[in-house]
């Protein structure tokens, strides 16, 4: 039997993952600064409200709808109304996760062998999802000059006749940068001229820390075909509930055509469970308390990080939003070697920037979610290691 080329030929863990596994098997106590599972970082979830939402008796009947149940789409529309945006429930499609939404959209917009361009540095799963759908993920690069800027000239060069789609992560993971309204003006021109659709993944939208220049509002876009992604995973801090969604934006005539085709595709799977659709309204409301705790947590940990790295050879790049921070270190080692040394000698888990496509300089990525006492100690050990070099 032959397996498809969608699966990587090598499935061995990276050196870092293998070392981590060995340490865990030996029971070594570690400080995990890569922890980004909100259910594991000591947040006080509104348990009663969540369990009540999951107890809706409507759950017991099955009324399959490829687009998702109307009451669930209304609940998602209410989530946007709370942020001051009007979204018609008919322009919302439910999925089991944002990742599934990506896969559906790749099927909708790309033929096998065609190409999308995704942010670099950026979220590594996009590449894997593209390969699994038989399409290719190329890079569109962002560079840091005090703030993160899209490399527009480089982007134009990377667009070929096979390129159909631009992915924007807003704010980006792991850089935490929102695309500014002025940056979108230039990008919109490129997308119009080169006939590109856009996916705007805004799973971290609610976690804005720094307010400055106006940011791009994807929900207001009427010219370029655009698909906005979000889900309970980040918007309510409930990744285990498995509910995501797509909002259709861009020219109205294209929204309708996209909706018909998405409905056709979603009908193959009918993947979103009824219990979670019935619970979504209650979970989104309960999620407000979780979001607020996460916001406080990332703000607090970011201050600790900046204070601890002061007067060391390391520094955190500015974070506008999201759950991560990028730490810049002296280039004397590769980011992978820094991460291996921190794990092996200090018992601290971080991600090397190379995982996210950082190629210049030396960067480590930490989550801002860990419990403050663990975060403080982990960052202290990192600062000591950076100072010793
Ligand atoms: C940018 C980004 N998009 C999507 C996801 C996945 O979200 P979901 O759990 O809804 O699949 C993540 C998860 O970390 C993410 O960082």
Q: Which of 204, 134, 137 is nearest to 167 (CA)?
A: 137
In DSSP notation, 65-86 reads: -TT--HHHHHHHHHHHHHTT--
Q: Please indicate, yes or no, if residue 6 is contained in any of the structural domains.
A: no
Does 266 lie in the same domain as 303?
no
What distance in Å separates the CA atoms of residue 85 and residue 294, rounded to the nearest whole number? 22
Mutational pocket test of ligand 1: of 98, 174, 199, 202, the residue with most ligand atoms within 8 Å of the beta carbon: 98
In DSSP notation, 171-239 reads: S-TTT-PPPBHHHHHHHHHHHHHTT-EEEEE-TTTT-B----SPBP-GGG--SS-EEEEEEHHHHSS-G
Categorize the per-residue pLDDT at 388 as very low, low, confident or very high, splitting at 50, 70 and 90.
confident
Question: Is the pLDDT higher at 2 or at 296?
Answer: 296
Cα 97 to middle of ligand 1, angstroms: 8
Q: Which of 369, 193, 222, 386 is nearest to 308 (CA)?
A: 386
Cα 230 to middle of ligand 1, angstroms: 8
Does 144 lie in the same domain as 235?
yes
Which atom of ligand 1 is nearest to 244's Cα?
Answer: 10
Cα 237 to middle of ligand 1, angstroms: 11
pTM: 0.97
pLDDT per residue as tens digits for the range 176-195: 999 999 999 999 999 999 99
SS3 115: strand
pLDDT per residue as tens digits for the range 297-351: 999 999 999 999 998 999 999 999 999 999 999 999 999 999 999 999 999 999 9
Residue 341 confidence (pLDDT): 97
Residues within 6 Å of ligand 1 by CB: 97-99, 123, 169, 173, 201, 203, 231, 233, 239, 244
Does 96 lie in the same domain as 59?
yes
Which atom of ligand 1 is nearest to 323's Cα?
Answer: 16
Q: Is the dihedral of CA 103, 104, 108, 111 positive or negative?
A: positive
- The residue from 234, 258, 286 where one domain ends is 286
For ligand 1, atom 7, the nearest C-alpha belongs to: 98
Does 188 lie in the same domain as 88?
yes
Does 67 lie in the same domain as 38?
no
Interstrand relation of 244-249 and 92-95 (parallel, antiparallel or unpaired): antiparallel
Residue 89 confidence (pLDDT): 98
What distance in Å separates the CA atoms of residue 321 and residue 211, rounded to the nearest whole number? 9
Q: Please indicate, yes or no, if residue 10 is contained in any of the structural domains.
A: no
Residue 280 confidence (pLDDT): 98
Q: Which of 211, 94, 106, 222 is nearest to 167 (CA)?
A: 106
Residue 11 confidence (pLDDT): 92
Mutational pocket test of ligand 1: of 125, 179, 321, the residue with most ligand atoms within 8 Å of the beta carbon: 125
Mutational pocket test of ligand 1: of 120, 127, 172, 234, the residue with most ligand atoms within 8 Å of the beta carbon: 234
Does 358 lie in the same domain as 326?
yes
Asked if pLDDT for residue 360 goes beyond 90, the answer is no
Does 317 lie in the same domain as 205?
no
- Percent of the chain residues past pLDDT 70, beyond the cut: 100
Which atom of ligand 1 is nearest to 231's Cα?
Answer: 10
Q: Please indicate, yes or no, if residue 1 is contained in any of the structural domains.
A: no
pLDDT averaged over every residue in the chain: 97
Q: Please indicate, yes or no, if residue 372 is contained in any of the structural domains.
A: yes
Does 40 lie in the same domain as 61?
no
Q: Which of 351, 85, 353, 348 is nearest to 221 (CA)?
A: 85
Does 327 lie in the same domain as 280?
no
Categorize the per-residue pLDDT at 387 as very low, low, confident or very high, splitting at 50, 70 and 90.
confident
Q: Please indicate, yes or no, if residue 9 is contained in any of the structural domains.
A: no
pLDDT per residue as tens digits for the range 186-236: 999 999 999 999 999 999 999 999 998 999 999 999 999 999 999 999 999
pLDDT per residue as tens digits for the range 244-262: 999 999 999 999 999 999 9
Phi, psi of 300 (to 5 degrees): -65, -50
Residue 202 confidence (pLDDT): 98
Does 306 lie in the same domain as 264?
no
Cα 110 to middle of ligand 1, angstroms: 21
372 close to 301: Cβ distance less than 8 angstroms: yes
Residue 322 confidence (pLDDT): 98
Q: Please indicate, yes or no, if residue 119 is contained in any of the structural domains.
A: yes
Residue 250 confidence (pLDDT): 98
Which atom of ligand 1 is nearest to 100's Cα?
Answer: 11
Tell me what the mean pLDDT of segment 47-54 comes to. Answer: 98
Mutational pocket test of ligand 1: of 123, 126, 176, 272, the residue with most ligand atoms within 8 Å of the beta carbon: 123
What distance in Å separates the CA atoms of residue 363 and residue 355, rounded to the nearest whole number? 10
Structure tokens at 92: 């919302």
Q: Domain containing 163: what range?
A: 47-286
Q: Please indicate, yes or no, if residue 4 is contained in any of the structural domains.
A: no
Q: At what angle do helices 274-309 and 70-82 cross, to 10 degrees?
A: 30
Categorize the per-residue pLDDT at 141 as very low, low, confident or very high, splitting at 50, 70 and 90.
very high
Cα 386 to middle of ligand 1, angstroms: 30
Interstrand relation of 197-201 and 362-367 (parallel, antiparallel or unpaired): unpaired
Cα 2 to middle of ligand 1, angstroms: 31
Which atom of ligand 1 is nearest to 173's Cα?
Answer: 1
> Residue 137: which H helix or E strand, with range?
strand 136-144
* CATH of residue 57: 3.40.640.10
Interstrand relation of 351-352 and 348-349 (parallel, antiparallel or unpaired): unpaired
Structure tokens at 297: 């947590």
Residue 297 confidence (pLDDT): 98
- The residue from 286, 304, 337 where one domain ends is 286
Asked if pLDDT for residue 389 goes beyond 80, the answer is no
Residue 172 confidence (pLDDT): 98
* CATH of residue 362: 3.90.1150.10
pLDDT per residue as tens digits for the range 4-38: 999 988 899 999 999 999 999 999 899 999 999 99
Backbone dihedral region for residue 322 (phi beyond 0: left; psi -120 to 50: alpha; all else: beta): left
Does 90 lie in the same domain as 217?
yes
Q: Please indicate, yes or no, if residue 309 is contained in any of the structural domains.
A: yes
- The residue from 235, 254, 286 where one domain ends is 286
In DSSP notation, 305-368 reads: HHHHHTTSS-EEPP--BSSEEEEEE-TTS-HHHHHHHHHHHH-EE-EEGGGGT--SSEEEEEES
Domain count, the chain: 2
Does 222 lie in the same domain as 74?
yes
- Percent of the chain residues past pLDDT 90, beyond the cut: 96
What distance in Å separates the CA atoms of residue 102 and residue 73, rounded to the nearest whole number? 18
How many residues are recorded in the chain?
A: 389
Residue 254's Cα: distance from chain center in Å? 26
Cα 214 to middle of ligand 1, angstroms: 24
């Amino acid at each position: 039997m032959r397996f498809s080329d969608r699966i990587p030929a090598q499935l061995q863990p990276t050196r870092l993952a293998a070392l981590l596994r060995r340490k865990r098997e030996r029971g070594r106590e570690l400080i995990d600064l890569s922890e980004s599972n909100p259910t594991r970082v000591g947040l006080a979830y509104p348990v009663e409200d969540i369990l009540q939402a999951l107890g809706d008796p409507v759950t017991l009947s099955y009324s399959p709808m490829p687009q998702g149940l109307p009451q669930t789409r209304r609940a998602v529309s209410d989530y946007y109304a709370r942020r001051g945006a009007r979204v018609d429930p008919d322009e919302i499609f439910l999925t089991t996760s944002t990742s599934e939404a990506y896969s559906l959209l790749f099927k909708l917009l790309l033929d096998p062998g065609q190409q999308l361009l995704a942010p670099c540095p950026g979220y590594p799963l996009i590449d894997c999802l593209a390969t699994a759908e038989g399409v290719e993920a190329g890079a569109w690069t962002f560079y840091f000059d005090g703030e993160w800027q899209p490399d527009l000239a480089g982007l134009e060069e990377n667009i070929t006749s096979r390129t159909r789609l631009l992915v924007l992560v807003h704010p980006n993971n792991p850089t935490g940068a929102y695309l500014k309204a002025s940056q979108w003006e230039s990008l919109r021109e490129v997308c119009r001229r080169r006939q590109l659709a856009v996916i705007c993944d805004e799973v971290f939208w609610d976690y804005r820390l720094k307010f400055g220049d106006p940011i791009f509002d994807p929900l207001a876009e009427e010219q370029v075909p655009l698909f906005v992604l979000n889900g309970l995973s980040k918007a309510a801090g409930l990744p285990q509930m498995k509910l995501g969604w797509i909002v259709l934006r861009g020219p109205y005539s294209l929204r309708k055509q996209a909706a018909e085709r998405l409905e056709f595709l979603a009908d193959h799977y009918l993947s979103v469970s009824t219990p979670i659709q019935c619970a979504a309204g209650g979970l989104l409301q309960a999620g407000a308390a979780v979001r607020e705790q996460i916001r406080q947590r990332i703000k607090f940990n970011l201050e600790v990080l900046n204070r601890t790295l002061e007067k060391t050879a390391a520094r955190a790049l500015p974070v506008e939003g999201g759950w991560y921070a990028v730490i810049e270190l002296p280039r004397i080692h590769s980011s992978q070697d820094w991460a291996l040394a921190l794990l092996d000698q200090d018992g601290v888990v971080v991600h090397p920037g190379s995982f996210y496509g950082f190629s210049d300089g030396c960067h480590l990525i930490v989550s801002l979610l860990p419990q403050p006492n663990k975060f403080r100690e982990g960052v202290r050990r990192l600062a000591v290691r950076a100072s010793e070099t």
